[in-house]
């Protein structure tokens, strides 16, 4: 083999090794970035966990204080305040109770009577019978007299 051929083989091998090194270095950099993101996420979760633990401790202390001040609680009751709190949370999440259609019609009729609309006009607008409209108007008038 000639010296030129040996030189070219060594040059090609070193070029290949250089490319492999750059590729490995880029993979290592990506792995480091992923590790840093994972550590940042872990720290966020630790902070959230600490906040939740403080809330649980505070809630437990409040419940213990409430249980201690209530004279008729027994040892067999398990988290009586927590059950009441859970029920309250459920009702708050559901929102206010929806008014039945009759109550809504009564409110609409009250507003229309105040504006001076006739029984026929109110019935036509609400698409209800004349007798139902008359009953709602009478209820409105009785409500005004009582108030």
What pLDDT, on the 0 to 100 scale, is given for residue 28? 94
31 lies in some domain: yes
Q: How far apart are CA 50 and CA 131, in angstroms?
A: 64
78 three-class SS: coil
pTM of the predicted model as reported, rounded to 2 decimal places: 0.36
User: Do both 4 and 43 map to the same domain?
Assistant: yes
Q: How far apart are CA 40 and CA 35, in angstroms?
A: 9
User: Do both 60 and 103 map to the same domain?
Assistant: no
Q: Which domain holds residue 111?
A: 97-147
Q: Could you tell me which residue, 84 or 4, shows the higher pLDDT?
A: 4
82 lies in some domain: no
User: Do both 52 and 108 map to the same domain?
Assistant: no
What is the total count of domains within the chain?
A: 2
38 lies in some domain: yes
Q: What's the rounded mean pLDDT across residues 33-56?
A: 90
**What interhelical angle do 101-114 and 119-126 show, nearest 10?**
140
Q: Could you tell me which residue, 68 or 147, shows the higher pLDDT?
A: 68
What pLDDT, on the 0 to 100 scale, is given for residue 76? 47
Residue 26 has pLDDT above 50, yes or no: yes
Maximum pairwise Cα distance, the chain: 120
Q: How far apart are CA 92 and CA 111, in angstroms?
A: 29
112 lies in some domain: yes
């Amino acid at each position: 083999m000639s010296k030129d051929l040996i030189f070219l083989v060594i040059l090609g091998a070193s070029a290949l090794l250089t490319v492999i090194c750059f590729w490995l270095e880029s993979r290592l950099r990506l792995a480091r970035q992923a590790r840093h993101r994972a550590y940042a996420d872990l720290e966020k979760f630790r902070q959230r966990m600490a906040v939740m633990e403080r809330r649980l401790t505070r809630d437990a202390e409040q419940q213990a204080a409430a249980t201690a001040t209530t004279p008729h609680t027994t040892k067999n009751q398990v988290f009586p305040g927590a059950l009441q709190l859970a029920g309250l949370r459920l009702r708050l999440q559901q929102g206010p109770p929806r008014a039945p259609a009759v109550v809504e019609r009564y409110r609409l009729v009250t507003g229309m009577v105040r504006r001076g609309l006739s029984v026929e006009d109110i019935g036509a607008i609400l698409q209800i019978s004349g007798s139902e409209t008359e009953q709602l108007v009478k209820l409105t008038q009785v409500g005004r007299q009582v108030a």
